[in-house]
Chain A
Amino acid sequence: MTKPGQTTAMGVPELAEGYPEVSAPFGEALVNVGRQNPKVIGLTADLGKYTDILSFAAAFPERYFNVGMAEQNLIGIAAGLARTGFVPFCTTYCVFATRRAYDFIAIGCALSRTNVKIIAGLPGLTTGYGGTHQGIEDLALMRAMPNLTVIDPCDATEIAQATAVIADYDGPVYMRLLRGRVPVVLDPVTYRFEIGKARLLRKGTDVAFISTGLMTQRTLEAAAQLANDGVSAAVLHVSTLKPFDREAVLSLIERVPRVITAENHVTTGGLASAVADAATDAGLRLRLKRVGIPDCFCECGSLPYLAKRYQMDTASIVAAARTVLEEEPVLPAAVA
């Protein structure tokens, strides 16, 4: 139960426990990008306050446009700006970008390969506001769209780096946003974000965690907990869902065929599906457990309540690893 005095709809502070935090890493990074590139434009659909873009608005008022609550038009305007040589970054929530403006993204951005960056807040269970606001199937929708680059960053370090990288990349991008006070999980000195590259954050031989977005915070925690019990767990962080780093994924599965995928998203059409597709296509056999949102719209509620309810918390990841460890070893494919 929520404590009296606690509201559940907004904010992600519960995600940040135990890590240093950075405030509005996307907005700060966009200001830097805007300084270097005068073609960068900031756009929002009445969610400037809630998508961390206000620092850009303050730094470059003449390059910032709030188009009102009109997501289809947001994408249309961005595509038009891109066609005149600008680099529009537009912000809204995952649900409104993908569900409402899907056709506009498909035609105006992806099919035409216009240089539009869509930055989408409230991915998965980062809001307690219920089914209308939780972006639970956006990765599946966006991954299915040709020509689009799809990114689900883990933390403040990755958001800042990815913002700079996608500004330099010429083509349409959909990136999930973590907003407000965002934890720093990846070391900004050693970590290097590249489009289409997965990163092995931890070596291991018994089980392999393959995770994306904020779930990598939790797979790292799960791996550390398992290590205390003598279980060696690898963590591969796949922040670009498309293009998908098949090579890194396959080489890990070959070595460690007991796999747990973890994503802040339904377990169909996102990371788990991408991993299963890659393994099947390559003829690799594996034991796979999928941690993620089951096939349902989720309740309203506080974030820890939701993470537990839908088995997305660290404890559920550890439990999934133990289940996979108990299963029969993977046999080589039967010869027909």
Chain B
Amino acid sequence: MLPTHSLQPHPIADIPRLQRAARKLRRHMLTMAAGKGQGYIGQGLGFADILAALYFHEMKHDPQNPGWEDRDRFILSTGHYSIALWAALVEIGVLSADELAQYGADGSRLEMSTLDSTPGVEMTGGSLGHGLGQGVGMALGLRLAGKSSRVFVELSDGELQEGSTWEAAMAAAHFKLDGLVAVIDCNSIQADGPIVLNIEPVAEKWRAFGWLTTEIDGNNMQQIIAALHAVRRETDQPKAIVARTVPGKGVPCIERCEKAHFLNVTHIDWEDAIRELEAQHD
């Protein structure tokens, strides 16, 4: 972790407002997951704080016009985190809340894994290790087009095992893509359980690859905002935020579940889960 004194809260960030936004995203996720026996609710809840900070504070975007060409881009590299992105797109108004119940259903555009045919989705995910390469291409393209838009790429800790991630990391530093921000969601799990192949020290790897790197508690809104503020600095480097998150964060009964990639939550009472979430006042 960075020493806290280097993480000054952003002067104009309204932290309680962002925490409320994160809680709303979590609420949408519970609506999507409710009644379904299993899913990626753990990852979604863990990533909710960062998504709220990106969509409600840091990124420029226009919900009326999701294809606005001057927007900042958000690439969700892990398609299986779609439940989190659907929540954010509903909350900013790109998708309608009525669709939430259709998450994962036959014929629905709220797929279990993101497709770029759904409005607001920048990249088709699902096959891991694609996000950063496409992010490098977008950042290069935006720079060539003379735009100041930035590109935020979410990556998972599991994706740090794919060679393609590091090919892209090397290219980003080489091309001095200072508008590229990688947010690495280190939730300590992958498909076979707790991280199966050592990836540490994560922050040092990104630094060694030439990225301006900070490491934070990814469920602490103060720290998230401070890190996002810090990477606004204009250097000629790409930026990495190594975010340590807790799967299931914000809903204690899900947080207590086994730390599993594909969570089996048949035993959960969803009404209780919603009450638990709403009882939280950070």
Residue numbers of A with Cβ under 8 A of B are 1-2, 4-10, 44, 46-50, 66-70, 72-73, 95-96, 99-100, 128-133, 299-302, 305
State whether the Cβ of B278 lies closer than 8 Å to any Cβ in chain A: no
What are 16 sample pairs from A and B whose C-beta atoms fall under 8 A apart? A2-B105, A4-B101, A9-B39, A44-B192, A46-B197, A47-B192, A49-B193, A68-B161, A69-B159, A70-B162, A130-B111, A130-B112, A131-B115, A132-B113, A132-B125, A132-B127
- Chain B, interface size category, equals 35 or more
Q: Which residues of A contact B105 (CB under 8 A)?
A: 1-2, 8, 301
Work out how many contacts link A and B, with CB atoms closer than 8 A.
Answer: 110
Residue numbers of B with Cβ under 8 A of A are 35-39, 79, 101, 104-108, 111-113, 115, 124-129, 158-159, 161-163, 190-193, 196-197, 199, 262
Q: Which residues of B contact A47 (CB under 8 A)?
A: 191-192
Q: Which residues of A contact B113 (CB under 8 A)?
A: 9, 129-130, 132-133, 300
In angstroms, Cα B163 to Cα A8, docked, is: 30
In contact, B79 and A9 (Cβ under 8 angstroms): no
CB of B172, distance to nearest CB on chain A (Å): 20
B126 in complex: contacting residue of A4, A6, A72, A133, CB < 8 Å: A133
A7 in complex: contacting residue of B38, B115, B125, CB < 8 Å: B38
Q: Which residues of A contact B190 (CB under 8 A)?
A: 46, 68-69
Chain B residue at smallest Cβ distance from A306: B106
Q: Which residues of A contact B111 (CB under 8 A)?
A: 130, 300
In contact, A5 and B36 (Cβ under 8 angstroms): yes
CB of A10, distance to nearest CB on chain B (Å): 6
Chain A residue at smallest Cβ distance from B36: A7
In angstroms, Cα B193 to Cα A6, docked, is: 23
Q: Which residues of A contact B193 (CB under 8 A)?
A: 49
In angstroms, Cα B39 to Cα A156, docked, is: 27
Report the 9 A-B pairs with minimum CB-CB distance, sorted nearest first: A132-B126, A68-B197, A68-B161, A301-B106, A2-B105, A132-B127, A305-B106, A66-B196, A69-B161
In contact, A69 and B36 (Cβ under 8 angstroms): no
Chain A residue at smallest Cβ distance from B33: A7
Given contacts A300-B111, A305-B106, contact A69 B191 (CB under 8 A): yes
In contact, B112 and A9 (Cβ under 8 angstroms): yes
Chain B residue at smallest Cβ distance from A47: B191
In contact, B35 and A5 (Cβ under 8 angstroms): yes
Apart from the given pairs A6-B36, A99-B127, A130-B111, 12 other A-B contacts in the complex at a CB distance below 8 Å: A1-B106, A6-B37, A44-B192, A49-B192, A68-B190, A69-B162, A70-B161, A70-B163, A128-B112, A129-B113, A132-B125, A299-B106
